[in-house]
């Protein structure tokens, strides 16, 4: 595939019109290469075009918002990228994670998923935890995101912070399988 690396995409930004953010590197990292005219860029994976960039735009966020079915946002969401993004903070709050659930039609309430640390990857019903970066999918009605998260990734720092280590252990032992979970109101 053409433009499959960040370097190749970055090399297209000759004559890029803006001096402000987002910078070509941010755009290239988010899957885009420069086609023009103006500030029009194209995603190497979904061929979607975006333009009219303003200084406050986050390319990855805009990609998720406007081109949610892009395969780049699914498979290529490798931990490296995510942790870079997480540092910038955009999925660390429940409200921001909830914003990612555009186009979601999975079986579980996005508010529950966002609360339990997940944001939507924009493809099928895949979500990823902002903290441990584990990807979950194939949700069925009645799933409790806190329980699934604890069962499959008990070492997640966010889960341990919100539920407490003891509760996570109990869930692992299946003791609390059918009992309601008392979640302390997590600040994140």
**Span of 34-42, 107-115, 124-132, 177-185 interacting with Zn ion by CB under 5 A:** 124-132
- Provide the 8-state DSSP code for 23: P
Bond from prior residue into 152 cis (ω within 30 degrees of 0): no
Q: Least CB distance from residue 69 to Zn ion, whole Å?
A: 8
How many Cβ atoms from other residues are within 10 Å of residue 22's Cβ? Answer: 23
Q: Which of 176, 132, 134 has its CA nearest to residue 158?
A: 132
Per rule CB under 5 A, is residue 156 in the interface with Zn ion? yes
**Span of 2-10, 81-89, 154-162, 163-171 interacting with Zn ion by CB under 5 A:** 154-162
**Span of 50-58, 82-90, 129-137, 168-176 interacting with Zn ion by CB under 5 A:** 129-137
Q: For residues 20-59, which are near Zn ion according to CB under 5 A? A: 31, 43, 45-46
**What burial class does residue 108 get, using C-beta atoms within 10 Å of its C-beta: 0-12 exposed, 13-18 middle, 19+ buried?**
buried
Q: Please report, as ranges, the residues that interact with Zn ion according to CB under 5 A.
A: 31, 43, 45-46, 67, 70, 72, 117, 129, 131-132, 156
């Amino acid at each position: 595939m053409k433009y499959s690396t960040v370097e190749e995409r970055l090399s297209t930004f000759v004559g890029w019109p803006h001096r402000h953010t987002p910078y070509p590197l941010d755009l290239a990292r988010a899957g885009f290469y420069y086609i023009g005219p103006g500030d029009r860029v194209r995603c190497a994976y979904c061929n979607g075009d975006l333009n009219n960039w303003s200084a406050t735009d986050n390319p990855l966020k805009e990609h998720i918002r406007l081109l949610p079915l892009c395969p780049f946002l699914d498979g290529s969401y490798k931990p490296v990228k995510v942790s870079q993004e997480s540092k910038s903070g955009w999925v660390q709050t429940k409200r921001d994670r909830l914003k990612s659930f555009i186009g979601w039609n999975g079986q579980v309430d996005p508010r529950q998923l966002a609360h339990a640390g997940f944001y939507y990857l924009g493809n099928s019903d895949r979500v990823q935890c902002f903290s441990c970066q584990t990807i979950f999918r194939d949700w069925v009605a009645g799933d409790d995101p806190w329980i699934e998260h604890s069962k499959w990734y008990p070492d997640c720092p966010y889960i341990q912070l919100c539920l407490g280590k003891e509760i996570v252990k109990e869930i692992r032992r299946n003791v609390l399988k059918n009992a309601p979970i008392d979640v302390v109101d997590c600040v994140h």
